[in-house]
Amino acid sequence: MPKMDEITKQVFSIEEKKVSTLIVAFIFFSGLGGYQVIKEGDIPPNLVNVLLGLITAIGAVNAVDKWVNRGKANEEQGGDTNETG
């Protein structure tokens, strides 16, 4: 039976392409929002929701990546991977 760490690494594996795509999309929509501010003086509410969603997704990806790799640095140092306390 596979260990829990192996299962989480397989289920939550995050490729750099996915993170980079989110960042490129965020930069694109931020530029679009800047254009809307210059042109009309305000960012449309739908665009604000898209930007908030992208910020949330980028943060969630980073949090999940840290969670999945939580014991990796400790294993490399020869320590125990169980986090207690």
How far, in Å, CA of 13 to CA of 67, rounded? 11
Query: What's the pLDDT at 63?
Result: 84
Query: What's the pLDDT at 67?
Result: 80
- Report the 3 state secondary structure along 19-67: HHHHHHHHHHHHHHHHHHHHHHCCCCHHHHHHHHHHHHHHHHHHHHHHH
Q: What's the pLDDT band for 11 if we cut at 50, 70, 90?
A: low
Domain boundaries, the chain: 16-69
pLDDT digits (tens, 9 = 90+) for 32-60: 999 999 999 999 999 999 999 999 998 88
DSSP state of 4: H
Between 50 and 18, where is the model more confident? Answer: 50
- pTM, whole model, 2 decimals? 0.64
